[in-house]
Chains A and B, each alone.
Chain A
Amino acid sequence: DAKTTQPNSMESNEEEPVHLPCNHSTISGTDYIHWYRQLPSQGPEYVIHGLTSNVNNRMASLAIAEDRKSSTLILHRATLRDAAVYYCILGVAGSYQLTFGKGTKLSVIP
């Protein structure tokens, strides 16, 4: 299975940008890169996904390395409500299953 590697935890000051890294060196050419987050005591929620090009939406931006072996989720201005566990997941070709690792626990400091 294609795997991802993320730091266990990160901290950010409120209203500052946050860059959450993810390594996926075994990614194949058709694997999508998905990001989900899980707020305390809630189910995971979709954040963003991409294949090759950088992506932006109202929640975040996704920067994908040219070789696709790593990506970075960018929260432009962290708020206290962004404190959550962020999961970087590969959408493997031929499978519709999401394989969750332990993710990165983001703490936002007021």
Chain B
Amino acid sequence: NAGVTQTPKFQVLKTGQSMTLQCAQDMNHEYMSWYRQDPGMGLRLIHYSVGAGITDQGEVPNGYNVSRSTTEDFPLRLLSAAPSQTSVYFCASSYWDKEETQYFGPGTRLLVL
């Protein structure tokens, strides 16, 4: 298994540009989520999904959109990037059980100028 994969690893955007951060998992996990981590801080939840076609907002959803058309993929879209969205973004997945381990991807570093 490849686990949780994220692309790209690093991206530079100009203010106002849009982009999609990709996340995929090959473990047939129902639950997937996106977090952002700012320097010296813990991770904060952006959006999550409990299955294909179902998404919901986390703690910091503004400026981000998500969709879940397949079990495997959970892309995160920035519609109009802002410098405040400069961060490291992590995708995670797990089975649909609060006891289950969550598996994290390696992260995408995003710099918005």
Given contacts A96-B98, A97-B58, contact A44 B43 (CB under 8 A): yes
The number of chain A residues touching the other chain, given as a range, is 20 to 34
A25: shortest Cβ distance to chain B, in Å? 19
Chain B positions 14 through 36: 1 when the CB is less than 8 Å from some CB of chain A, otherwise 0 = 00000000000000000101010
Secondary structure dominating the interface of A: loop
User: In the bound complex, do residue A43 and residue B106 qualify as a contact, i.e. CB atoms below 8 Å apart?
Assistant: yes
Given contacts A96-B31, A96-B50, A97-B33, contact A43 B107 (CB under 8 A): yes
B77 contacts the other chain (CB 8 A): no
Complex Cα–Cα for A96 and B43 (A): 15
- Selected interface stretch from A16-24, A63-71, A72-80, A100-108: A100-108
For window 76-113 of chain B, which residues contact chain A by CB distance below 8 Å? 90, 92, 94, 96-99, 101-107
CB neighbours (8 Å) of A95 from chain B are 98
Chain B positions 59 through 75: 1 when the CB is less than 8 Å from some CB of chain A, otherwise 0 = 00000000000000000
Q: For residue A92, which residue of chain B has the nearest CB?
A: B98
- The size of the chain B interface, using a CB distance under 8 A, is 27
Choose among A42, A92, A101 the residue that contacts B42 (Cβ–Cβ < 8 A).
A101
User: In the bound complex, do residue B105 and residue A102 qualify as a contact, i.e. CB atoms below 8 Å apart?
Assistant: no
User: In the bound complex, do residue A91 and residue B43 qualify as a contact, i.e. CB atoms below 8 Å apart?
Assistant: no
7 nearest interchain CB pairs?
A: A43-B104, A100-B42, A100-B43, A46-B101, A91-B98, A44-B104, A43-B90
Can you give 16 contacting A-B residue pairs, CB < 8 Å? A43-B90, A43-B104, A43-B107, A46-B101, A46-B102, A46-B103, A91-B99, A92-B98, A96-B31, A96-B98, A97-B58, A98-B43, A98-B92, A99-B45, A100-B35, A103-B42
